[in-house]
Amino acid sequence: MGRCEFKVCILLDFSSAGPMAISSPMLLFLLLLVAVVIPGSHSFFPNFWSKFLSFTWGSYTHQDLTEEAILNITLQILLDNPHPFRPELKAQDFQGKTLTADAILGAYFGEEVSPRQFRASLRQIVSANANMDFLNGTRDDPLCHFDSERLKQGNWLLLRMRDQLLGSLKAKEYEGARDKLGQILHSLQDFYSHTNWVEMGNTDIHPDLATPGRDIRSIAGLSDETCTDCTELSCKNNIVQAIEERQLLTSGYYGDFPKKPHGKCSHGGPFDDSRLFSARGGINKDTAAAIFSPHHFLHQIAAELALKASIKFLNELRDDVTDREMLRILGVSASPALSFVMDTTGSMGEEITTARLQSRHIIQRQRQTLLYPDFYILVPFNDPDYGPVYKTSDPNEFLRYLDDLQALGGGDEPEMCLSALQLALIHTPPNSEIFVFTDASSKDAHLKSSVEALIQERKIKVSFLVTEDPSRTRVRSRRELLPQDRFDLYANLSEISGGQIIFTNNQDIPAVSEVISESVHFDVVTLFHKQSMERGSSTHEFQVDDFMRSVCLFINGDVSSFKIHDPTGKIQHGNRQSNGKFTRVSFKNPLAAGRWKIEMRTTGPHTLHIQGRSLVDFLYYFGVPVTGSHPGLYKLSNQPVSGVSAILVVDVIGLPDSAHLDHVTITPVKGVPLKVELEPANQTGLLVAQVGQVPLGEFSIGVSGQDGKGSAFLREAPQHGKSAECVVEITNESPLMPGEMHWLSLSISSYGASPCYTIKMSNDRGYRMNTTIPRVFTDVNETHETGFWIQAPDEAETNTVVTVTAQAEACEDKAQNCFTLLPLIIMARPEVYSLQAPVCSLLSYSGSCPLSLPPRLCQQHQWRSVLHILDPGGVKYAQILSGFGSISHGPDGTSERVEYSSDCCFPKAEILLTNYWGATSSCLLTAPFSASNLGHCTDWILLVVMCCSSLVNYLLYI
């Protein structure tokens, strides 16, 4: 029996065997499905915050279901792939225990790996899942939630998203794959809460849902009445008996789009207006509370089936990708990336050699633990060129890249350092560190704000190793004429990223570069970081706790002397290594826990960076509460919004039960620190703090608590955060295909005083795109929506990624900006498809435009057209791509009317039609001209452009 068949059979057996019917030790891990995964009662509301907002403590959330499914599948993969150097993982060790990331990875890898990356990946998947209930493009889309009897279409959407997920994995775009996985699991889970599958008496999952080559059948027809009136909060037996007897699937309508036909079921609950019309009531099983869910009494079984279906989907995904790829999408790796940005001008030969040696050392160390980074990345630059990006998961291939790198040519300072760094930031996964080798300043300083935004968005450290050696052979102007502050830009970027800037020379670079090996350990935590221009004496304190394995101090710059004192006041020398202006001091266990201090005498610019190795760390994000039909906490990007009250969520890693975190401190670069108490989030393992309005500008974040012995311990987030007064978002509803002009939506929301923003658009491959979005004028708390296109060339390679970035800058203050990026997978165009895009034909027109019309009179003349649209799935959107006027469409169904009207200032228009599968076609309209002016031609022109290139990928499963 094949691997997948064996797993599926186990899952099916458990549906009827009950929680204690374990017949074989091989099956013990599946207790997680019944005894561990569902310890009481938990919903289909988005995430843990939903329970705070709605008081549904006894309900399962999408977060609960998604986390449990991923923990189950992670354990299953590790059980199937024994560690070659460690004791075999045993399923019975997890029997009757609550699964956690720390427990699973600790049992398999020991202390070789931190669960930090796994936790971060899990949070990304969970957030993408929850966002299906928050974002405008998906929140009210019936296909995304199996609402409004869009069951067949919803399954097609799942299969389409599954293809996109596989495309992301083939492109090794793991971030996009995690987002897509979260979206898929959300829709999959909603099927069991929003349809009548449970009401039909089914005790197992739907065998054909989200399964390639299969379809959902036995669905109630449009004319079938499916529900009867229910006037109580708890609606029992409100499914029409004939529907139950015929075993027909149905689901509830929600709101007023699409409009609920008479006699159909509603979703139900206080936010669903359709519940007030026949058939009144509802059938959703989102929670265990009657006030939100008319079928609350079936919530438990719906949650159990949703969990089983989630695990089944993940199991079947393993048939299409390797287990190593599965572990990467789940974040089980040593670190996200080893990433270098390398100056390749003629004077950089020693640095290139050093990078090779350090890389070989790191790769050899990783081979002993089976823990490799997801990626090895190299971006070269010189003058005037930069790139391309060399990115691979194969360490040997990366070493070949480095071996082929040559230091050639060169020119005067400065060089294209920030352009190369920007490329590296786009292609390096979050929570990584980038090392920049150079001996020249940057000539592209105008990219500073974009680079800063990328650092903060992706939480990436950037460290610069700068060699200044007058004896070197680089051909450039006399060094004494170069400005003394030419490296201040690098110092600033390393400061906000939590990295370092180290100045060295040709002779010392091999020794100094050992900082790379120190920093790429999976368990490095930041204890203290400071850059200063001050001279004289200074004292700095840092906290060492019992969770530290080692501590390392990096002292760089004009420091004449320093002394390190342990908590008793005794001077400690440690293991010191000095090279020029750089000194490294390391301390190994046993370390005295408590407050240490370092006294320094400085004569000029200097940097002090202190880091330790510890499994105790933390992740954090900002969120804002969302109310409505599916309340929860919407996770902001890594750039919180100034002036908007926020919740700070802390995910603590590796902390034993005897210890606890108490407070989080937000420290503005300019301002008073804000210290807020952390509170547990209802047994989720998360901690939350009501931080209120985040201060405008740059800030740092730290957490504090006590270990099991009552001693204090601290952790600092490496990167500085930066709040913004705006939010910019790019949304995409379909994959990019070679040769097509692909449309994307962009929105800018303003929360500050700036009345306008300028928009900068770019992509990392130089593809054609319209970057000329005009200035956007907004009021406070207003959102402006627009769109733009990007075109991949015909020869674009499929299963590759192009990353689109957008930055909005306040017109009056360029320092106030917001940023976003979106990776797009280039997918192959399928050869065969059976469904056309929406077809539009003219029904009627009215009005006309005189042929010779003075511009001042064009507003006095109107024209209008009515189109007939045929599409089996129904038109989801009708949008004006060019022209200016008004547009409407309806009623929802296979045959719809689209009405467009405009004045004669805009005698032409292009209408984009999008159906519920994401297929598009456009109609080019030209106003009818007055016969008196033309002398003939009393008809108007309607040009229909069929089968836009974005259509075909969605229609494989019809």
Tell me what the mean pLDDT of segment 789-812 comes to: 92
Integer Cα distance of 875 and 897 in angstroms:
10
CATH: 3.30.565.10, 3.30.70.100, 3.40.50.410, 3.30.70.260. Which one for 335-522?
3.40.50.410
- Is residue 632 scored above 60 in pLDDT? yes
What is the three-class DSSP state of 365? helix
DSSP letters, 473-496, are ----S-GGGS-TTTTHHHHHHHHH
The pLDDT of residue 298 is above 50: yes
- Mean pLDDT confidence for 362-373: 76
Tokens of 889: 């469409």
Nearest alpha-carbon partner for 649 in 727, 698, 703, 729: 703
Q: Is the pLDDT of residue 108 over 70?
A: yes
- Reference 133, options 251, 265, 43; nearest CA is 43
CA distances to 49, 347, 445, 465, 644 from 476, rounded to whole Å, are: 59, 11, 19, 20, 50
Higher pLDDT, 12 or 898: 898
Flag whether pLDDT at 14 surpasses 50. Answer: no
| In the predicted structure, residue 781 carries a pLDDT above the cut 80 | yes
CA distances from 270 to 176, 274, 284, 628 (A): 34, 10, 12, 9
pLDDT given at position 626: 83
CA angle 390, 393, 395 (to 5 degrees): 85
**Structure tokens of 496?**
């906000």
Q: Which secondary-structure segment (H or E) carries 166?
A: helix 151-170
Tell me whether the omega of the peptide bond preceding residue 46 falls within 30 degrees of 0, making it cis. Answer: no
For 427-436, what is the mean pLDDT?
92
Out of 51-65, 103-117, 299-313, 579-593, pick the least confident: 51-65
3-state secondary structure of 909: strand
Tell me if domain 524-614 and domain 617-722 are identical in fold.
no
Q: Render pLDDT for 401-415 as a digit per residue (tens, 0 to 9).
A: 988 888 776 656 788
446: phi then psi, degrees, rounded to nearest 5: -65, -15
For residues 886 and 950, the model is more confident at 886
Q: What is the pLDDT of residue 410?
A: 60
Half-sphere exposure of 427 (CA within 13 A, CB side): 30
- Which CATH architecture group holds 726-826? Sandwich (2.60)
Looking at residue 550, its pLDDT comes to 92
Is the confidence at residue 40, as pLDDT, over 80? Answer: no
Q: Which helix (H) or strand (E) holds 390?
A: strand 390-392
Residue 259 has pLDDT above 50, yes or no: yes
The mean pLDDT value for 846-857 works out to 84
Q: Calculate mean pLDDT across residues 689-705.
A: 89
Topology annotation, domain 839-955: Immunoglobulin-like (2.60.40)
Least confident of 462-466, 707-711, 755-759: 707-711
Between these two residues, 204 and 510, which has the higher pLDDT value? 204
DSSP annotation of 589 = S
Of residues 894 and 836, more confidence is placed in: 894
Using the structure block, give the residue that is written with the tokens 């009897």.
149
Q: What's residue 220's pLDDT?
A: 94
- 538-567 pLDDT tens trace: 999 999 999 998 999 999 999 999 999 999
Q: Would you place residue 306 in the very low, low, confident or very high pLDDT band (cuts 50, 70, 90)? A: very high
Confidence of residue 17 (pLDDT cuts 50, 70, 90): very low
Could you tell me which residues come within 8 angstroms of residue 432 by beta carbon, excluding any fewer than 6 positions away? Answer: 335, 336, 337, 339, 458, 460, 461
Q: What average pLDDT does the chain have?
A: 83
Q: Which fold has domain 524-614?
A: Jelly Rolls (2.60.120)
Per-residue pLDDT tens digits for 903-941: 898 888 888 887 766 677 778 888 887 643 332 222 333
| pTM to 2 decimal places | 0.83
Alpha-carbon distance values, 482 to 413, 440, 934 (Å):
8, 10, 70
The CATH architecture to which 617-722 belongs is Sandwich (2.60)
Beta carbons within 8 Å of 297's beta carbon, 6+ residues apart: 234, 236
Query: What pLDDT score does 461 carry?
Result: 93
Residue 114's pLDDT is 81
Dihedral, 452, 455, 461, 466 alpha carbons, nearest 10: -40
- Check whether 470 has a pLDDT greater than 60: no
Which one is predicted more confidently, 854 or 915?
A: 854
Q: pLDDT value at position 51?
A: 62
CA contacts within 13 A on the Cβ side of 40 = 7
The mean pLDDT value for 375-379 works out to 94
Q: For the chain, what are the domain ranges?
A: 3-214+299-329, 335-522, 524-614, 617-722, 726-826, 839-955
H helix intervals, 468-561: 488-497, 509-512, 514-519
Report pLDDT for 56.
63
Rounded to the nearest 10 degrees, the angle between the axes of helix 116-131 and helix 174-194 is: 50
Per-residue pLDDT tens for 149-196? 999 889 988 998 999 999 999 999 999 999 999 999 999 999 999 999
Arithmetic mean of pLDDT, 322-339: 90
Predicted confidence (pLDDT) at residue 21 exceeds the cutoff of 60: no
* Closest to 51 measured CA to CA, from 295, 305, 270, 292: 292
Q: What is the pLDDT of residue 872?
A: 67
Report phi then psi at 158, rounded to 5: -60, -45
The least confident of 226-240, 496-510, 841-855, 910-924 is 910-924
Q: CB under 8 Å to 754, separation ≥6 — which residues?
A: 725, 726, 810, 811, 812, 813, 816
